Structure 1
Amino acid sequence: MTLKQKPGFAGARSRPFGLAGWLALALLAWAPLPYGSIEPLPLALLAVATGLVLIVVAAATWRERPTFPWPVWLCLALFLVPLAWGWLQTRTFLPAGWGHPFWRVALEAGLPASPRVSLADDLWVEPWLRLAMGLAAFAAFFLLGRDRGRAARLAGGFVAIATGYAVFGLGQQAFGFTFLRQDWQQGLTSTFINRNHFALYLNMAALLALCLLLDPLLRPAARVPPLPAAAGRKRRRASGAKAPPRSRLRRPARRLARHALQGRPAQPRPRRARRPLRRHASRPDQGDGLPRGRPRRARPGGGSRSGSSATPSSTASRTSAARRASRAQGDSRFGG
């Protein structure tokens, strides 16, 4: 999946928001609308919508191979404890001493009853549904929030939604809107039943808005001045001047890092051909007929630095011939 640069949020490299992100924002916008979804029908619709959003988010993020650290699994295990305890309260195999005193009174009165911890054994489904819905919402937003860019979009969307509900609440107080709430005079509640719940909702939005505002100011990249090379590139880009040719990276670590960032395998650097050894100009002949230049040294394994096809045998033969000529010249000088 291609990573894209998202401007305006700490240089975050984010994945596409996609259908899953927009459905999650729609879920956030719908949940507080029908009186906080506390009635049975809005609660059932919200539970179904949360499950569908979780399925879409899981399908969209499956290719990213999400990993869950152990604190997430610990939170999941702790979250399942109330679900299990709520189901156990409706069972009859628990000790009789755990039962509610009402069942003892009913048995003494001769009424058919089975002692349980809970008074209503058929009302465990609704609390279980509420807790399971919260767990599904947590899982969906956790999968989306693993990417920094998508988390920023979700936070910004939640702030915008909360701002809309706050504006509606202010208009309700100012103009007396009654198409959603008849008892709007009790306080600034917008579409919520309890004003404390609405205050908590707005406090969460204010905290996220503060984080989004302070993020560009507190990140270290905003306080570090740009490098001279980067500033020069910006000036050339603004003026339209042509950039000078870039020098090749010579260090192997930097070269490997560059190829890794570009997504291609590192290629070995071609070795430059060695320059041939300079031969000194021959000095004038001193009458002995021998060359006074600098002899070449034979390389082990054959060949020469200049790329000639000289072999060790030919070099040795030339050296021995020069020695014999020098010995003969010395014998002729001294009359030997």
Structure 2
Amino acid sequence: MTEGNFVDYVKIFASSGNGGKGSVHLHREKYITKGGPDGGDGGRGGHVIIRGNENLWTLYHLKFKKHFKAGHGGHGSKSRSTGADGEDVFVDVPLGTVVRDTETNDILFEITEHNEEKILCEGGMGGRGNWHFKSSTNQTPRYAQPGIPLEEKRVTIELKLLADVGLVGFPNAGKSTLLSVITSAKPKIADYEFTTLKPNLGIVEYRDYQSFVMADIPGIIEGAAEGKGLGHYFLRHIERNSILLFMIPADADDIHKQYDILLDELRRYNPEMLDKERFIAISKSDMLDEELKAELKQELDNNLPIDYMFISPVAQEGITQLKDKLWQMLNS
């Protein structure tokens, strides 16, 4: 999937259908000139329904179609005939989608399961026909209920990636390189910062035809929680990952300090992120000879509060061991 096709934020307008009018009708047929009321009910207006679809990975299909209108309910008719219900409109979204009210920014609901359905705009109920209002004192009512009007909403739809492992790190830490090596994804790779401007997903194939999903989140910068850089657009994709894999390059000035800064950005954005399992991959370790690696290992053993591993996607070092470690963490 190219970066231009990855859309994770859209605004749409939705409108349900009006309920049909109840019928005011008096029964007439041969030899019956003054029959009782037999006006039928109006049909229900159509709903606008948000539906989860596991085959979608992005909101790209909503980029150019942003207005959704359901059908109106049919009017009631004679012989107590009920009007047809308005046609429902379904809006398919990927799993991990959050729907917000655009005006208030309140979360209306989230879609996390395949074929899960939530009514966004409820169709108006049909009005009752005049036969409902017949009584001993009013045997020929000449009135019926109108249908309930439609409902309109402007909503913002956000995608938060559902992935097993999320890659967290500063720009140019080697996240895209790892994703390209460990999966069949083809992210853009270059030796400058902010090469990745949209999240990338890849499926990691493991032993015995098993697999898990890895997400390359665009690089975080200090102050991202306050909206620096692209701030919240990046951080929200990390919320749904089961494991956070911190990527820190071996040539960083202070590996422990980089980890602390990244962790602090996650904490300030959403403290619940600190409850997730975390692991550190020291990337670009092919730049280190054995002596430097031993010195760095001794330093990290004394300072880093969580487990770590040296890897080099370019040199294919530590990749199998990393897969084993992530699989073990996912299934522990």
Check whether TM > 0.5: no
Q: Which structure has the highest strand share of the two? A: 2
The TM-score range, normalised by the shorter chain, is under 0.3
Decide which structure has the larger Cα Rg and report it: 1
Q: Tell me which protein shows more helix as a share of its residues.
A: 1
